Amino acid sequence: MSSTWTERLDNPVSARLRNPATSGIVGIVLGCFAAFLAIPPIMARGTTWPILVGVVAALLGIWTVTRGMRRLGWGAFAAGVLGIALGVLATRSGTGNLNAVFDATLIAQTFGLATPLVFGSIAGMMSERSGVINVGLEGMMLMGAFWGIYGADKGGWPVGLLLGGAVGGILALVYGFFAIQLRSDQIVGGTAVNFLALGITGYFFVQLYNNNPIPNGVATLPNFRIPWLADVHFLGPAIGDLNVMIWAGFVLVVVSYILLFKTPIGLRIRACGEHPRAADTVGINVYAIRYGCVMLSGVLAALGGVYLSDGYGNGTFIADITNGRGFIALAAMIFGNWRPGGAFGASLLFGFSSALALRLQVYSASAATLFNVLPYVLTLIAVAGVIGRTVPPAADGKPYRKQ
Amino acid sequence: MTEDANIPPETPEQAAATGTLAARIALKQRAGGITVPVITAVVAFLLGGLVVLATGHNPLLAYRDIFDGAGLNWIFHPTTNVANTAAYNLTQTLLQTTTLILCGLAVAFAFRCGMFNIGGQGQYFVGLIAANWIGVDFAHMAALPHILLAISAAILAGALWAGIAGVLKATVGAHEVISTIMLNWIAIWIAEWLFGDGGPLQNSTQPQVPVSNAISPSAQLPVFWGAKLLQGLDIGIFIALASLVVYWAILNRTTLGYEVRAVGFNPEAAAYGGINVKKNLIRAMAISGAFAGLAGAIDMLGYLYQFGQNDVPVSQVGFLGIAVALLGRNTAVGVLFGSLLFGALLFGTTHGLTSNVIQPELAGNLTYIIQGLIVLFVGADVLILYVWNTRKRMWPRRARVAEASA
């Protein structure tokens, strides 16, 4: 008897199955699946299936918690409960409404709404990994959104991308000068950046477009159409015809991961964010690294802004077009625990919740408005440490003074 | 800061570079007195003027029109008759000042405890919502208890909202900046939901108009300058001025204020001296939120009476409070002057402005640019210390006398 037990313990497959991480992830997937059962294209009309699958997910979650992986376990539990609730709600709803909310374009819209957040959260991560808090993401994004439109209006979308990115970089350079060189409080500086961007974009929007709300006929960022995929059922409208910036966002996540965790320069960046004195001792130029990261952060956030106005917005601009998206990006970065994959996942989640908020208006415009609080509530729960713990870089937000 | 733990700071400048936020602010308060904020504001106005000049307007004439738009030209011909444009504009500027005093205090109080309350906007909204709810629903109360009830509810709501951030900071160490930013946006969306079509506080007689009901007359604050219908100046400004005194008294004349300042200056030393740091973090945050909640109540009961969904994203007073507190260096007198400056800018560049030189749409954004520049410069210790040291070099004797007396 005992020999078979030890054999089974050594068996790598069964060891992996008993790993609480696996059960947690399976629980989360099942929880999502419980809600997914009741919506198109499967659209089960009975309440049995969502409840059954959801309960299994919740049980898996509880088991995972008892095995010590609290964050994942509670995640699976929450996914199961939410899955049941959403699944039962969906079976109560009319099929016409369901089809209007959950069609393939929901996926495309999720990517569209998530992309400014992907750029913004990766931008924030680059800056904070080097030890500079960037509360000015919103402002940098807003600058990109306006100057991107202006550039696209005057010289086509590539000029828009260049101009938007450049202006974002310049604003970040100004912020960097105050945050790094003058060692001013980084949160105060970031707040100032947000005010400045709001004022500058608003001022020049009135000045350059003479108070006309929308500059018409601007060259928008093109879509990237995959020929063999674009006409396939479901997949075509979902991912066959997405904007180039959406794909660029996917690439950005991978590149930023490799840059931060697989290259010497990434090691230096992280060293500056964790222990700048030690980094300085081994000959890393802390100021140069931080300047570089802050400027890169500004460029990336601004590119997200360019996409927001000239891609997702089809070449429109209104005052304060970002409307808190920079702060959602900040939230996504925190929720993703200052890691590229986590930031990407959180951006997708928040993008999905925004897309749902837009579509749930077929049920109730009022409830759909309230749905917008979801990213902020989730992030508040995450920083409260209810599920796991978010750990910022050790020297994040602390000005460094060379000796 | 761990990397500096073993190296004792040699100069106050160095202590400022490595110390806590409150320690750095305290240093800045020693450095330069009133000179630095004045220089900061002047430089911000100069740079704003450069933007105006670069876009083809005359900055001097533009600033003169903004000055008139804010009603500040009233001092040349004082009159209480609001048919006079200057007098009317001045009442409107003072309405904005009232709000900004309280929003500035909300930021300043947390600063004195070493925390950055960036959530004034959210706390203002929950106060506004609470006041609107009480003002509309308890329509048959007598005036004084109704007003007191609405104000207390708003103060409580603001204190609780900010208290969440305080509790999170004290118990699990969540950074107050992140939690107050999140609480801001939660409050903003809740306000959009409440006042929007189908929302619980939305106008019950006109379901298609995304505006709340107007509060009952019994909850409206008395107006003492101008007419109620024309948005006259209400007694809220006296409440705001009294709050300045309360703020000063709490911080400088009570045990609570002493503990709050001690925690802000150096939490470890405060804990060593027997002060309960966690309790004070929560208390300071709640008092901060109470000021912002009061601001929401005064606005609602004083002149707004109702609030629309579309007004929610436009409101920036909570964020302006940051600029007011920083410019006023977290002192009562400083907050008063900061609020006057920004109140004048806020009204003088928008509704009050009639100008051939600069459109109100442009000038309104100029306010944000100036605000951003002021916050940027005020936050820069090294710049301020440089200015301070230059001053000492230029007038060495006077500076030494000032230091000896301090």
Range in A1-5, A358-362, B24-28, B262-266 with the lowest mean pLDDT: A1-5
Q: Write out pLDDT tens, residues A318-327.
A: 888 898 899 9
Q: How far is CA A250 from CA A255, B8, B268, B358, in A?
A: 9, 47, 45, 45
Residue A105 — pLDDT band, cuts 50, 70, 90? confident
CATH of domain A103-383: 1.10.3470
- What element of type H or E holds A178? none
B267: containing domain = 101-110+119-315
Q: What distance in Å separates residue B367's CA from the closest CA in chain A?
A: 7
Whole-angstrom Cα distance, residue A120 to residue A305?
Answer: 8
pLDDT top residue among A189 and A18: A189
Q: Which residues of B touch A203 (CB under 8 A)?
A: 51, 55, 362, 365-366, 369
CA proximity to B286, closest of B189, B374, B125, B158: B158
What's the domain count of chain B?
1
CA angle in degrees (0–180, nearest 5) for B345-B293-B332:
55
Residue A292 — pLDDT band, cuts 50, 70, 90? very high
Q: What is the 3-state secondary structure (H, E, C) of chain B?
A: CHHHCCCCCCCHHHHHHHCCHHHHHHHHHHCCCCHHHHHHHHHHHHHHHHHHHHCCCCHHHHHHHHHHHCCHHHHHCCCCCCCCHHHHHHHHHHHHHHHHHHHHHHHHHHHHCCCCCCCHHHHHHHHHHHHHHHHHHCCCCCHHHHHHHHHHHHHHHHHHHHHHHHHHHHHHCCCHHHHHHHHHHHHHHHHHHHHCCCCCCECCCCCCCCEECCCCHHHCCCEEECCCCCCCEECHHHHHHHHHHHHHHHHHHCHHHHHHHHHHHCHHHHHHCCCCHHHHHHHHHHHHHHHHHHHHHHHHHHHHCCCECCHHHHCCHHHHHHHHHHHCCCCHHHHHHHHHHHHHHHHHCCCCCCCCCCCHHHHHHHHHHHHHHHHHHHCCHHHHHHHHHHHHHHCHHHHHHHHHHC
* Of the partner residues B116, B189, B371, the one whose CB lies closest to the CB of residue A369: B189
Residue B15 — pLDDT band, cuts 50, 70, 90? very low
Whole-angstrom Cα distance, residue B196 to residue A371?
Answer: 13
CA proximity to A344, closest of A33, A75, A25, A123: A123
Whole-angstrom Cα distance, residue B328 to residue B331?
Answer: 6
Whole-angstrom Cα distance, residue A67 to residue A81?
Answer: 20
Cβ neighbors of A225 (< 8 A, separation 6 or more) are A240, A241
CA proximity to B56, closest of B349, B357, B350: B357
A194–B183: do the CB atoms touch at under 8 Å? no
Q: Is the pLDDT of residue B6 over 50?
A: no
Q: Is the pLDDT of residue A387 over 60?
A: no
Kindly state the percentage of chain B with pLDDT values over 70: 85
A184–B382: do the CB atoms touch at under 8 Å? yes
Q: How far is CA B299 from CA A136, B256, B292, in A?
A: 29, 28, 11
DSSP string, A195-257: HHHHHHHHHHHHHHHTT-S--TT--PPPEEE-TTTTTSTTHIIIIIEEEHHHHHHHHHHHHHH
Q: Which residues of B touch A377 (CB under 8 A)?
A: 182, 186
Do B316 and B125 contact (CB within 8 A), yes or no? no
Whole-angstrom Cα distance, residue A308 to residue A297?
Answer: 17
Residue A232 — pLDDT band, cuts 50, 70, 90? confident
Whole-angstrom Cα distance, residue B380 to residue A192?
Answer: 11
pLDDT top residue among B290 and A38: B290
Residue B1 — pLDDT band, cuts 50, 70, 90? very low
Q: Which residues of B touch A366 (CB under 8 A)?
A: 193, 196-199
Do B66 and B351 contact (CB within 8 A), yes or no? no
Mean pLDDT over B146-151 rounds to 96
A384–B197: do the CB atoms touch at under 8 Å? no
Q: Write out pLDDT tens, residues A151-210.
A: 998 888 999 999 999 999 999 999 999 999 888 889 889 999 999 999 999 999 988 887
Whole-angstrom Cα distance, residue B11 to residue B248?
Answer: 29
Q: Which residues of B touch A403 (CB under 8 A)?
A: 7
Residue B35 in domain: no
Do A299 and A169 contact (CB within 8 A), yes or no? yes
Instruction: Name the residue of chain A whose CA is nearest to B5's CA.
Output: A277
Mean pLDDT over B244-264 rounds to 94
Beta-bridged to residue A243, according to DSSP, are A223
Q: Which residues of B touch A330 (CB under 8 A)?
A: 178, 181
Q: Is the pTM of this model over 0.80?
A: yes
A182–B383: do the CB atoms touch at under 8 Å? yes
Q: Is the pLDDT of residue B7 over 50?
A: no
Whole-angstrom Cα distance, residue A233 to residue A230?
Answer: 9
Range in A16-30, B127-141, B261-275 with the lowest mean pLDDT: A16-30
> What's the confidence (pLDDT) of residue A8?
53
DSSP tag of A69:
-
Residue B48 in domain: no
A211–B361: do the CB atoms touch at under 8 Å? yes
* Of the partner residues A199, A372, A377, the one whose CB lies closest to the CB of residue B365: A199
Residue spans per domain, chain A: 2-98, 103-383
Q: Which residues of A touch B326 (CB under 8 A)?
A: 188
Whole-angstrom Cα distance, residue A267 to residue A211?
Answer: 48
B365–A373: do the CB atoms touch at under 8 Å? no
Residue B376 in domain: no
Q: Write out pLDDT tens, residues A327-386.
A: 999 989 988 889 999 999 999 989 988 888 888 887 788 888 888 898 899 888 888 876
Q: If you average pLDDT over every residue of chain B, what do you get? A: 86
> What's the confidence (pLDDT) of residue B2?
38
